[in-house]
Structure 1
Amino acid sequence: MASLIDNNSNVCSMEEEIEAEAAVLKQIQNRLAEKMEVGKTAPPTEEEQKEIDARSIFIGNVEFGATVEELEDHFKGCGEIVRTTIPKDKLTKKQKNYAFIEFESSDSVENAMVMNGSTFRERQIVVTSKRTNKPGMGAQRGRGGIRGGIRGRRGGQQTVVVKYVYVNGAAPRGRGGFRGGRGRFNPY
């Protein structure tokens, strides 16, 4: 009987230890969660993004070796700069040849527009006001927006009407010219 009581007290003390350890782990998790959330901010709402874009400019034809500091130095006379961004290619990690500058006030955008055509690092840059992206208006996948595409055409979406004429009732095999392919022979 005494051994049963000893076993029960051992089980109770083990459960208490487990509960105490669980409480300590929960505190550690809460502290880590607070630290992780400190640096994060929610993305701007649609109205906030429009307001930010109204204070921002797009700079095209930027030399590939340009730095943020050089761009800010070039546009410092236009107004107080909040943020300068030179995007990078996702795959190659090389910077692209355009940039964005966000100013403190929208009046600075008008001042910066005067810089259109100015020379920056021996290149003539293009300065325009930044447009607000519209959902669903991104670049179309493929060529021309039609399966297989229309080669050699640029511009908006085109409508193509194709009439198939089969000789002796036999349809073409492979990925021939009917689907926008290159007309290669593919017997399988």
Structure 2
Amino acid sequence: MEGDDVDMAAAESTEADLDDMKKRLKEMEEEAAALREMQAKVEKEMGSVQDPAAAAATSQANREEVDSRSVFVGNVDYSCTPEEVQQHFQTCGTVNRVTIRTDKYGQPKGYAYVEFVEAEAVQEALLLNESELHGRQLKVTAKRTNIPGMKQYRPRRSNPFMRPRGPFMAPYFFAPYGYGFHG
């Protein structure tokens, strides 16, 4: 008889645990539904419910607008600061931003981008092509807009130790141990 009491107590305990779990699951589902409702409300208020393609098109249009107000400046001296580049282009119009590109070690790459507030300033800046800054002749061109997924074609480098093999062409043979042919 004692075994039946233990089994009965275990069954009641398991049943109570199961009811408790069902209760917690129901509470979690209600909380998740409330969170989804709140998120939908916030998105509706902010007007941010738009598909990713429309967002990408908007950002691409924004990039193109910024690029229409920017110039590329090549052959910039490595010791040049953004403030010096800004002063050089100040006569063209109001400079919004100067970006001097650097490599992964923080060393300047030798070129910069100058963004103006007005698009008309780009034409004035192009007149500064071949002007000097820090004793170097600058190359100023209008900034082009990169189109995602459109990489420029670069031919593959061939192995300098190989030559093209056509019909009846033998491969190169190198002398062993680095010695040349003796004749």
Give the TM-score range, shorter chain.
0.5 to 0.7
- Give the greater-gyration-radius structure (CA): 2
CA–CA separation in structure 1 for the residues paired with 2:138 and 2:119: 20
Q: How big is the alpha-carbon RMSD for the aligned residues of Structure 1 and Structure 2? A: 4.0
2:59 alignment partner, one of 31, 41, 44? 44
Letter in 1 for 2:14: N
Quick one: structure 1 residues 18 and 71, their matched pair in 2 at CA, closer, same or farther if it must change by over 3 Å?
A: farther
1:87 match: secondary structure: strand
Quick one: structure 1 residues 184 and 61, their matched pair in 2 at CA, closer, same or farther if it must change by over 3 Å?
A: farther
CA–CA separation in structure 2 for the residues paired with 1:186 and 1:49: 57
Aligned residues, how many? 147
Identify, as 1 or 2, the structure richer in helix.
Answer: 2
CA–CA separation in structure 2 for the residues paired with 1:17 and 1:53: 55
Task: Indicate the residue corresponding to 2:73 in structure 1.
Answer: 59
Task: Indicate the residue corresponding to 1:38 in structure 2.
Answer: none
1:142 match: secondary structure: coil
The gaps in structure 1 that reach 5 residues or longer are: 32-40, 151-160, 167-171, 177-182
CA–CA separation in structure 2 for the residues paired with 1:50 and 1:113: 18
Q: TM-score, normalised by structure 2?
A: 0.58
Alignment identity in percent? 31
Q: TM-score, normalised by structure 1?
A: 0.57
The gaps in structure 2 that reach 5 residues or longer are: 1-7, 40-54, 177-183
Quick one: structure 1 residues 19 and 93, their matched pair in 2 at CA, closer, same or farther if it must change by over 3 Å?
A: farther
2:97 alignment partner, one of 46, 69, 83? 83
Quick one: structure 1 residues 162 and 95, their matched pair in 2 at CA, closer, same or farther if it must change by over 3 Å?
A: same
More displaced, 55-64 or 68-77?
68-77
